[in-house]
Amino acid sequence: MVYGRGLEAVTVQDLEQQLASGNPVVQLVDVREPAELEIVAIPGFINLPLSQFEQWQTQISEILDPAKETWALCHHGIRSAQFCHWLKQQGYSHVKNITGGIDAYVDEIQPTWPHY
């Protein structure tokens, strides 16, 4: 699936399959705020809040491997799409946005988890 302006996307079902596989090849990044993660978070994600962009942007190549596939998550998919576009500008070619974000994940995969 392509997500606006050439950005590829994956579904929350794809994410669940990835998590179940235990395959560490995909880098998972959650760009939500720490307070949002306190409400609900999926284990295995690196947290890079967009509000703290200035603090981590110059270290991105130390945090994430540009050769690995990277999937990004936020609340609904808007902030993670922004992050994906920025990563592509930095030379990351295997970047995908998780459609619907944590909201869709809770609705469709983990309905007993907190919803906000």
The string of pLDDT tens digits covering residues 89-113 is 999 989 999 999 999 999 999 999 9
Other Cβ atoms less than 10 A from the Cβ of 94: the count is 17
Supply the pTM of this predicted model.
0.92
The string of pLDDT tens digits covering residues 69-88 is 999 999 999 999 999 999 99
Strand ranges (E), the chain: 2-3, 7-10, 27-30, 46-47, 70-73, 95-98
- Tokens linked to 83: 């992050």
- Tokens linked to 1: 């699936």
Helix 101-108 / helix 12-21 crossing angle, nearest 10 deg = 80
DSSP state of 74: -
> Which residues lie below 8 Å from residue 20, measured CB to CB, with a gap of 6+?
none
User: What pLDDT sits at residue 22?
Assistant: 82
Instruction: Give the active site residues.
Output: 74
**Domain at 2-108: CATH architecture:** 3-Layer(aba) Sandwich (3.40)
Placement of tokens 């110059």 in the chain: 58
